[in-house]
């Protein structure tokens, strides 16, 4: 429910509130309500932030290797300091979202700094990969970079409490777990990555649920980025598995349907979006393989979509009753 000041004015006209009470209530809402909203400024914050973060992670090209060692280490430390300085500046001006993004930018620079420190100390074994390979290849000698980044991330999260920091921390844990897995089991191929991603994504989702119900609150949604990353990794790994038989493909569709149902109980749209994409891909498979010569299959899907819409109208009437019934089975979020 979205309320504006006109709603309070209507309450005043209905003699439910006095004008003074309405002003105090509105002032309280403006001061206390810090929930994230989908606004153009927020989109611009994250778009600019992802550009800056990508520049020091995904888009570090081989041209940077000409500066590897001390020069690139100095540049990394300057960028790290710049991010933290801007984060503190934004905090002073009460811009929490850009402050968190710039703090996350500083964390994203850490692997680059550690890489060049390793180069200076001669700790990269031959043949050493370039830094641009860090996000492409799994190898055990990325482990020191990931461990130090993880420690720095946890320290920054402890002091700054920005939920966005959990995103690069989750990515670092994913990289670290794959590199350690390779180190322990001496794997030379990458056929295991899809299965590994499914289990890792599930682990992150469960961690997000714990964070959601124990530590998130109305002002800081610590679980959001964990849900987003965990769901994407889980769904990506799930979709890359070898679903050979029609029965297994049906199982894939049912798991995606389960994700849509789960989105209701955890109140996270990312599960509904990914689950819908998965079901659409299964229907695409049916359309172009089993029913490639069927004129009735597309028409059937049209009517199926209409039936789902009508079902949703009935569901909207029953939703509150059903959620109230299942309320006892859903963990209650901790309030602060």
pLDDT in tens, 138-162: 777 788 888 999 999 999 988 888 8
Please report whether residue 278 resides in a domain: yes
Same domain for 193 and 307?
A: yes
Same domain for 209 and 321?
A: yes
| Listed ranges 110-119, 199-208, 295-304; the one with the highest mean pLDDT | 110-119
Same domain for 147 and 205?
A: no
Least confident of 6-10, 58-62, 179-183, 185-189: 185-189
Q: Are 213 and 334 in contact (CB under 8 A)?
A: yes
Please report whether residue 9 resides in a domain: no
Residue 305 has pLDDT above 90, yes or no: no
Same domain for 170 and 49?
A: yes
**Total count of domains within the chain:** 2
| Average pLDDT taken over every residue of the chain | 76
Same domain for 176 and 214?
A: no
Residue with more model confidence, 56 or 315:
56
Residue with more model confidence, 63 or 66:
66
Please report whether residue 31 resides in a domain: no
Same domain for 157 and 270?
A: no
236-254, pLDDT tens digit by residue? 788 777 777 778 788 888 8
Range of the domain at 216: 189-336
Same domain for 88 and 214?
A: no
Same domain for 240 and 255?
A: yes
Residue 336 has pLDDT above 50, yes or no: no
From 147, 165, 185, the end of a domain falls on 185
From 185, 215, 236, the end of a domain falls on 185
Please report whether residue 32 resides in a domain: no
Please report whether residue 155 resides in a domain: yes
Same domain for 248 and 122?
A: no
From 185, 216, 241, the end of a domain falls on 185
Please report whether residue 34 resides in a domain: no
């Amino acid at each position: 429910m979205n309320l504006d000041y006109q709603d309070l004015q209507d309450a005043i006209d209905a003699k439910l509130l006095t004008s003074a009470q309405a002003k105090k209530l509105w002032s309280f809402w403006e001061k206390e309500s810090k929930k994230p909203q989908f606004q153009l400024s927020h989109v611009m914050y994250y778009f600019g932030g992802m550009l800056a973060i990508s520049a020091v992670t995904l888009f570090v090209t081989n041209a940077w290797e000409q500066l590897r060692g001390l020069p690139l280490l100095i540049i990394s430390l300057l960028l790290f300091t710049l991010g933290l300085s801007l984060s503190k500046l934004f905090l002073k001006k009460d811009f929490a979202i850009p402050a968190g993004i710039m703090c996350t930018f500083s964390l994203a620079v850490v692997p680059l700094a550690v890489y060049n420190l390793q180069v200076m100390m001669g700790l990269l074994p031959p043949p050493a990969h370039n830094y641009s390979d860090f996000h492409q290849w799994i190898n055990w000698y990325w482990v020191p970079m990931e461990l130090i980044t993880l420690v720095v991330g946890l320290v920054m999260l402890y002091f700054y409490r920005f939920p966005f920091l959990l995103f690069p921390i989750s990515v670092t844990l994913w990289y670290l777990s794959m590199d350690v897995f390779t180190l322990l089991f001496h794997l030379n191929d990458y056929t295991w990555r899809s299965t590994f991603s499914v289990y890792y994504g599930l682990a992150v989702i469960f961690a997000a649920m714990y964070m959601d119900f124990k530590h998130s609150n109305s002002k800081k949604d610590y679980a959001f980025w964990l849900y987003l990353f965990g769901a994407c990794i889980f769904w990506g790994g799930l979709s890359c598995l070898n679903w050979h038989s029609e029965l297994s493909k049906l199982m894939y569709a049912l798991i995606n349907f389960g994700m849509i149902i789960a989105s209701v109980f955890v109140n996270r749209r990312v599960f509904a979006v990914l689950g819908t994409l998965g079901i659409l891909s299964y229907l695409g498979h049916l359309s172009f393989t089993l029913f490639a010569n069927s004129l009735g299959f597309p028409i059937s899907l049209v009517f199926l979509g209409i039936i789902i819409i009508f079902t949703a109208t009935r569901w909207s009437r029953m939703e509150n009753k059903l959620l109230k019934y299942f309320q006892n089975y859903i963990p209650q979020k901790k309030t602060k």
